[in-house]
């Protein structure tokens, strides 16, 4: 089955994305994965109108694309993927959400107090699709009242289901901002 690298690239990120996009495309080819870019139009089509559209679009589209792809590696558009970054699809453990620790997380948030990773880079397989459902998004609507809402939602889900797989070596030295 095919894997996917997904990113959200809004108009405000175009200058940095013009620099990072080639690294995303090269990595997708190297990992034999598809590559999708969600733009402002795709974000506007998300029916949940609570909070910043890009925060809601990330979990929504990850869940949606898990119907078609075995695994999704979400990478923020301002993230450069190094040529030394290993194939995270091969490293990913079934049933886990692969996270990169110590990349400027939001530790100390009352919504997810132990959050020490950044939702700008994570990998998930189809077996964890339920974490990205509308039901979960609505049940956790209070996350979307805060800055970094998508990160808080992901932290909460990983903690609740105890499903983290950490990538320390693929972290800031390999996939950095």
pTM of the model: 0.82
Which residue has 């119907």 as its token pair?
A: 67
pLDDT in tens, 79-107: 899 999 999 999 999 999 998 765 444 44
- Residue 136 CA to residue 124 CA, distance in Å, equals 16
The per-residue pLDDT of the chain, averaged, comes to 79
pLDDT in tens, 24-46: 999 999 999 999 998 766 666 66
For Cα atoms 149, 152, 110, give the angle at the middle one, nearest 5 degrees.
110
- Residue 4 CA to residue 102 CA, distance in Å, equals 24
Q: Is the dihedral of CA 116, 35, 18, 61 positive or negative?
A: negative
Residues 6+ away with beta carbon under 8 Å from 135: none
Do residues 91 and 105 lie in contact, with contact meaning Cβ atoms separated by under 8 Å? Answer: no
pLDDT band of residue 116 (cuts 50, 70, 90) is low
Tokens in use for 108? 């100390």
Check pLDDT > 70 for residue 49: no
Tell me what pLDDT residue 13 has. 78
């Amino acid at each position: 089955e095919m894997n996917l690298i997904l990113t959200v690239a809004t108009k405000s990120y175009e200058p940095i994305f013009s620099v990072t996009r080639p690294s995303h495309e090269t990595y997708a080819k190297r990992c034999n994965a598809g590559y999708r870019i969600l733009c402002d139009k795709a974000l506007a089509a998300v029916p949940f109108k609570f909070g910043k559209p890009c925060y809601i679009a990330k979990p929504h589209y990850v869940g949606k694309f898990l119907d078609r792809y075995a695994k999704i590696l979400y990478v923020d558009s301002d993230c450069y993927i190094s040529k030394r970054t290993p194939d995270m699809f091969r490293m990913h453990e079934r049933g886990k959400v692969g996270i990169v620790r110590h990349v400027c997380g939001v530790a100390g948030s009352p919504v997810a107090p132990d959050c020490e990773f950044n939702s700008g880079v994570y990998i998930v397989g189809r077996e964890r699709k339920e974490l990205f459902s509308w039901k979960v998004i609505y049940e956790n609507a209070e996350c979307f009242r805060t800055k970094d809402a998508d990160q808080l939602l992901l932290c909460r889900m990983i903690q609740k289901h105890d499903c983290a797989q950490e990538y320390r070596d693929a972290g800031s030295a390999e996939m950095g901002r």
